Structure 1
């Protein structure tokens, strides 16, 4: 008799037990279903701005009294301390920052928020810290990172959009506020935090196209 047979039998038995354990665990702890959502706020890449503005306006035509998640885009960037002027007391869940530099691609920095105007105003510091902690791999991206973080630290007028929650009537009131370029609402049944956001930037006048990135990066 092969001397290794008992050892092989033991390995085979262990493999069978392991397979049974995996099946049992898979039954007892089923995998979480993936969250799939096609909801998004903001223009599609390359979408004509006039088309998006019309689409955003139509999204506010509802007469229901349910809360809707919505994206408010500014005509020009504002400083963080002015956010409460435009929120109408509604729940803000996200602030989008963008430091615009002519012919230099800079990131949109999105800061998720708990409730409260105070944390919304203070979010500019979080945006600066997030930029400062972003890894870079070449001289240009390092210069962009330092420029963006520096301007955010200086409280630049770089708030370009906010995500908030309100009824169609409340959102229409915000859309009429001077300085607001557009408010776009999702359907009332859209789930919080599982929709994409791509704000309309103030400098996007004709189409929501990516910026050129062939200009010099300023020192500050």
Structure 2
């Protein structure tokens, strides 16, 4: 009998411990990890039409706060064209992508201080970032080297900007020629807490890279 009582006491104690852990979890929820799920740009494989509608909807509202927003272009821009496509708003980042048929090439996003001059120089900064990405894969290294060459030559490779402005300012920017989409985050989004994935001009049906079976050009 004592052994049976002891086993019952252990079982009750175990159940009580589990209940205590659950209660403590409810009363003291874990702190947020600080990792944000905010994202500017289409999801991988998202229909372009859906993203364009979603971006437009993100600009609706009447608040007067400033928002972080992604500007995507109808055609890639040269570095010198960047300042004419920000609507007069502060540029916080610029994304560059060297497009090569049937070759996957990296998108490089450069964080920027204020000023048009640094925005124009962002292509060269993107080239420096790629130079630091040497890998063991020969094809990747050749793609990166070609991207560096073209970026330094001033190619039309700017594909997106992150700006900060009010919803009316962003709506005005979205209506300008050459602007394909402007997508805004909620006003409380943290500056360093969101991913940036520009809508590439070559994405027409799905936001999805094409095949990677083509030759890498020498230049």
Alignment TM class, shorter chain as reference: 0.7 to 0.9
Alignment deviations for residues 149-193 of structure 1 (CA, whole Å, 9 cap, x no partner)? 000010000000000100010001111111111000011111111
Residue in 1 aligned with 2:171? Answer: 172
CA distance in 2, matches of 1:189, 1:182: 21
Residue in 2 aligned with 1:118? Answer: 117
CA distance in 1, matches of 2:149, 2:215: 17
SS state at 2:45 partner: coil
Aligned residues: 189
Q: TM-score, normalised by structure 2?
A: 0.84
- Runs in 1 of length 4+ with deviation above 4 angstroms? none
Residue in 2 aligned with 1:35? Answer: 34
Give structure 2 stretches of 5+ with no counterpart: 1-30
SS state at 1:43 partner: coil
Instruction: Compute the displacement of 1:47 (Å).
Output: 0.2
SS state at 1:206 partner: coil
CA distance in 2, matches of 1:189, 1:142: 39
CA distance in 2, matches of 1:70, 1:219: 36
SS state at 1:129 partner: helix
Residue in 2 aligned with 1:160? Answer: 159
CA distance in 2, matches of 1:107, 1:211: 13
SS state at 1:160 partner: strand
1:55 aligns with 2:54: yes
SS state at 1:53 partner: helix
Residue in 2 aligned with 1:23? Answer: none
Cα RMSD for the two superposed structures: 1.2
CA distance in 2, matches of 1:86, 1:63: 24
Residue in 1 aligned with 2:218? Answer: 219
CA distance in 2, matches of 1:210, 1:36: 26
CA distance in 2, matches of 1:157, 1:196: 23
CA distance in 2, matches of 1:175, 1:104: 30
Residue in 2 aligned with 1:206? Answer: 205
Write the mapping of 1:32-181 to structure 2, written as runs, cut at 5 A: 34-181=33-180
CA distance in 1, matches of 2:152, 2:132: 14
SS state at 2:200 partner: coil
Instruction: Compute the displacement of 1:211 (Å).
Output: 2.6
Larger deviation, residues 34-43 vs 90-99: 34-43
Give structure 1 stretches of 5+ with no counterpart: 1-31
CA distance in 2, matches of 1:195, 1:184: 13
Instruction: Compute the displacement of 1:33 (Å).
Output: 6.6
SS state at 1:95 partner: strand
CA distance in 1, matches of 2:128, 2:168: 36
